[in-house]
Amino acid sequence: MTRTLSAPLIESGAVSRLEDLELAGGLVANSTFALGNVAEMQIPAEEGALLTFLARFTSARTIIEVGALTGYSTMALAEAVGPGGSVITCGSTGKWAQIARTAWQRAGFTDRIEPIFGPATETIRAFPECPIFDLAFIDADKARYVEYWEALVPRVRPGGLLIADRMMSPQETGNARAIGEFDAYVHADHRVEPVLPTVTDGITVARKKPIQPQEAGR
């Protein structure tokens, strides 16, 4: 990760960790840039910093990510969970996976990142329908955001976060309709409290509400 991304967030004295992270972040960013247009899908460093911050702020130890690409955002989340924590990512295959693996190794994160290949909805639904995740990050095909959301909400703990990327993408990306429908869906969902900070292309950050007394008995 770049200095902007990690410097304020790394525990004091962990200088070599910082160097490892910078190298790994630079490695994955450069390798992804070399792939051409694909690189536009990667979150920018400031969003990585925000993800790390939000995950740390909520003391997240178990995270699920939908949309790995070459593993940059995965690293931002893995930094936050710390040793013994876990980031499950709906992973890529082929060259993208190879870049991710190399960067995760360089960052020392292979112990805490588990890529699972295949359609993300199936991956999520394979987990028990109970609150096992502290945080979920959605950054994949926009047309399926509502589907991912429905699979994820029951699996995120009360007080945990659901974060969705690119909520204010330019109209010309062709995703405007799907994003609009997802935004309306989230705002009508009584299980969460959402906000939409205009960071980069806008990210939805929704806190799952604590269980209400009348719901606990159901």
Q: How far is the CB of 203 from ligand SAM (least distance, A)?
A: 11
Q: Is 119 in the site for ligand SAM (CB under 6 A)?
A: yes
Check residue 41 for interaction with ligand SAM (CB under 6 A): yes
Looking at 55-63, 65-73, 192-200, 209-217, which segment touches ligand SAM (CB under 6 A)?
65-73
Applying CB under 6 A, the span of 36-44, 77-85, 125-133, 179-187 interacting with ligand SAM comes to 36-44
Instruction: From 19-27, 67-75, 103-111, 190-198, give the range in contact with ligand SAM by CB under 6 A.
Output: 67-75
CA distance 115 to 170: 30
Residue 179 as a binder of ligand SAM (CB under 6 A): the answer is no
Q: Select from 147, 146, 47, 32 the least CA-distant residue to 98.
A: 32
Query: Is the Cα dihedral 29, 33, 34, 37 positive or negative?
Result: positive
Q: Return the beta strands (E) in 47-150 as ranges.
A: 62-66, 86-90, 113-116, 133-138
Q: Which residues contact 82 (CB under 8 A, 6 or more apart)?
A: 61, 112
Interface with ligand SAM, residue 80, by CB under 6 A: no
CB 218 to ligand SAM: min, Å: 31
What is the binding site for ligand SAM (CB under 6 A)?
41-43, 67-70, 72-73, 90, 92, 119-120, 139-141, 144
